[in-house]
Amino acid sequence: MKQVRISIIGFGSVGQGVAEVLMKKQDYLTKMGLDIKVIAISDSKGSFINQNGIDLNSALEQKRQKGTVANVQKTGVEIINEIEHDVVIETTPTNIEDGGVGLENMLASFENGRHVITSNKGPLALKYKDLVDTANLSGCKFKFEATVGGAMPIINLIKGVLAGNDILSIQGILNGTCNYILTRMLEEEASYEQMLAEAQERGIAETDPTYDVEGIDAACKLVILANSVFDMDSTYKDVDSVGITKITPESMLLAYNDGYVTKLIGEVRNGKLSVGPRLVPVGHPLSVGDTLNVASVQTDLAGPVTITGRGAGSIETASAILSDLIAICNNDN
Amino acid sequence: MKQVRISIIGFGSVGQGVAEVLMKKQDYLTKMGLDIKVIAISDSKGSFINQNGIDLNSALEQKRQKGTVANVQKTGVEIINEIEHDVVIETTPTNIEDGGVGLENMLASFENGRHVITSNKGPLALKYKDLVDTANLSGCKFKFEATVGGAMPIINLIKGVLAGNDILSIQGILNGTCNYILTRMLEEEASYEQMLAEAQERGIAETDPTYDVEGIDAACKLVILANSVFDMDSTYKDVDSVGITKITPESMLLAYNDGYVTKLIGEVRNGKLSVGPRLVPVGHPLSVGDTLNVASVQTDLAGPVTITGRGAGSIETASAILSDLIAICNNDN
């Protein structure tokens, strides 16, 4: 049995999802010969440490009841610096201003020789190359499938399953909130404002929806994809971004009657990054609706290959983190 | 540099695609530390052997000019039995009556301790369990991504990228010819017979289209998927199959006006296998048109994940074989 000691830094929706998934899949992991021990969990109030392995059920229970797992006044970065372990699961909230505490956590992990798995887009949308170079120099693995489209496993698809293929371009719907609003605008022939309000009511859009509807979230994911697949060093500020706030149901209906749906498409082609409304033929793999995310890669051998999945959700995102964890434990690429 | 000696048994469209792809990706393979040597190629007329590695360009040229590469009277199975090598790439035509020469080739390969990569559906749609058990007993790897939907990498997606997920059910469009005919019937409001004729003219349907339009091809692929993912031991005769020949454009148009497209869907659910016409909502990931193949897996963690790709084509299918070859060379699962 291979023992792997991990920390969960950031214990919001995704971090809790990771804990739930680790409990749910314990038998499966044991069968694979993996004994995964969570030795520390940090949230914004402090940390909980147990070198023999935290009882995840109690930790989740305590989080639900008290709003925090903290029983010691230690920050995530102190856990990373002070407690011996193998893998840091970094699930603090995205900060795209300066990368925030997530960036600090990742750099501290590499400095201490710990592998990192993250769902946090901020540091990767700002400092991709620095992070990857630092990880490589320190001999650490750095996995971030969960940053791009939650449970739409595009990065691992390209790196693993499509091995041998040159990737020529990437296009995708990388924001579920925008996809929901656009899908509903066409279905109801309703305005952007009306369908945004519906999305907010249903918990699909945030109270301040700027980050989603202006294309910033999609731009961050596009940058991570582009950097990772094409070995670029771009930031989300390099993306030519237009959001969905100016789209009218009348224009969408006209397009639909000609056989097209209107989607917010992120694209990497010839080193250029863009996010903006585009017309997609009905029946095209990118024409999916609801809150789905989708990414289509043009390859030299396999032609176009498209993958669709849920872009968000704590268990869905945790699933991407689990597959990254298994890959690290198995020493896969 | 790791030397890997392979044979290509069956040198029709897919076998030639493999030769082309190996030439095209030589630098890439070298960079990975792999020296892939094709030491024998067989077609229906005989074989061509060069223990130092065949010049693939000349072999392809000779095939084009003379219709065969044969310079010795040896069958594929004789090559497999007599010439020392590591991996057999089995690309003979599908025979669903008794598995034909393909089945013989695979069994001989395992008997001689050679790994097998195949695009040949017949043996797997008839004798899946026997083949897998024989491969396991002899310590050989057995990879067959190319049998299900050419360049739609569903098997490796499930086994690799979705690791940790339980697969609950699978649905998909597994036959590109049927998808083309149905897509065109709706576009042109034309009869099945008219659009079959168009597909035949364009080389998308065979002169005798039975195997495709009656759902047999889709049933074979479904069986391979089901056996491989759910560890079943079914044959294509266990599939409750209905084809597309009875579908009318009038019924398709009615459904479309209600927001549905008519597709030939293969499904595995609760151990039951079926292929038949089903209504799929427009905008659903399975609603793709043209000759595309698509498969959607329902998972316990990631939710539904869908992959779309070209179901046929010699280079596309060879791409799936290449990814299997890389996995075998790298000792991945």
Do A274 and A319 reside in the same domain of the chain? no
CA B266 → CA A152, A193, B22, B155, distances in Å? 22, 40, 33, 15
On the question of pLDDT at B332 being above 80, the answer is no
d(C-alpha B181, C-alpha B183), whole Å: 6
CB-based contacts of A164, cutoff 8 Å, min separation 6: A301, B21, B25, B28, B319, B322, B323, B326
pLDDT digit string (tens) for B287-307? 999 999 999 999 999 999 999
- The pLDDT of residue A163 is 83
CA angle B303, B305, B307 (to 5 degrees): 175
Q: What is the per-residue pLDDT for B159?
A: 84
Verify that A119 and A189 share a domain, yes or no.
no
Same domain, A163 and A194: yes
Q: What is residue A265's predicted lDDT score, i.e. its pLDDT?
A: 98
Query: Which tens digit of pLDDT belongs to each residue from A39-56?
Result: 999 999 999 999 999 999
Active site residues of B: 221
**A307 neighbourhood in chain B, CB within 8 Å:** 157, 305-308
- What tokens appear for B155 in the block? 């098997």
Domain containing residue A231 = 158-310
Distance CA(A209)–CA(A200), nearest Å, equals 9
B185: nearest Cα among B200, B206, B199: B199
Residue whose token pair is 């009038």: B250
Cα–Cα dist A34/A36, whole Å: 6
Q: Are residues B124 and B139 in the same domain?
A: yes
CB B133 within 8 A of CB B159: no
Six-digit token string for B295: 């498969």
User: Do the chains contact at B305 and A303, CB–CB below 8 Å?
Assistant: no
Q: What is the DSSP letter of A157?
A: I
A168, part of any domain: yes
- Mean pLDDT to the nearest integer, B115-142: 97
Helix (H, G, I), strand (E, B) or coil at B258: coil
H-assigned helices in chain B:
13-24, 26-31, 56-66, 76-82, 100-111, 121-137, 154-156, 176-188, 192-201, 210-213, 216-230, 249-257, 314-329
Q: What is the mean pLDDT of residues B40-44?
A: 97
- Retrieve residue A160's tokens: 């693993």
CB contact B285 to A (< 8 Å): yes
The answer for A 126-185 residues in CB contact with B (under 8 A) is 151-153, 156-157, 160-165, 183
Pair B141, B181 in one domain: no
Out of A164, A282, A288, closest to residue B323 by CB = A164
CATH code of the domain covering residue B76:
3.40.50.720
The reported pLDDT for the residue numbered A331 is 80
Percent of chain B having pLDDT more than 90?
A: 93
Average pLDDT over residues B230-248: 95
pLDDT for res B149: 82
What distance in Å separates the CA atoms of residue A322 and residue A5, rounded to the nearest whole number? 14
Residues A136 and A215 in one domain: no
Instruction: Report how many domains make up chain A.
Output: 2
Residues in chain A: 333
- Please indicate, yes or no, whether residues B304 and B318 belong to a single structural domain of this protein: no
A34 in contact with chain B, both atoms CB, cutoff 8 A: no
Note whether residue A153 is domain-resident: no
CATH number at residue A176: 3.30.360.10
**The pLDDT value given to residue B24:** 97
Residues B141 and B167 in one domain: no
pLDDT at B278: 98
Q: Please state whether beta strands A34-43 and A2-9 pair in parallel, antiparallel, or not at all (unpaired).
A: parallel
Share of chain B above pLDDT 70, in %: 99
Residue B153 lies in a domain: no
Do B66 and B204 share a domain, yes or no?
Answer: no
Tokens of A273: 């990054």
CA distance A321 to B302: 11
Provide mean pLDDT across the span B108-122: 97
pTM of the model: 0.93
Give this complex's ipTM: 0.93
User: Can you list the residues of chain A whose pLDDT is less than 50?
Assistant: none
**Counting Cβ atoms within 10 Å, is residue B231 exposed (0-12), middle (13-18) or buried (19+)?**
exposed
Residue A57 lies in a domain: yes
Per-residue pLDDT for B333 more than 60?
A: no
**Whether residue B58 is found in the same domain as residue B192:** no
Question: Can you give the pLDDT at residue A52?
Answer: 96
Say how far apart CA B150 and CA B99 lie, in whole Å: 19
Burial status of residue A246 (CB atoms within 10 A of its CB: 0-12, 13-18, 19 or more): exposed
In a domain, B189, yes or no: yes
Please state, in angstroms and as integers, the Cα–Cα distance from residue A210 to each residue in A201, A278, B163, following that order: 16, 20, 35
Residue-wise burial string across A144-166, b where 16 or more C-beta atoms lie within 10 A, e elsewhere: bbbbbbbbbbbbbbbbbbbbbbe
B239 and B267 share one domain: yes
Q: Do B308 and A305 touch (CB under 8 A)?
A: yes
The shortest CB-CB distance from B309 to any of A261, A303, A326 is to: A303
Same-domain pairing of A120 and A229: no
pLDDT per residue as tens digits for the range B144-198? 999 998 788 999 899 888 988 999 999 999 999 999 999 999 999 999 999 999 9
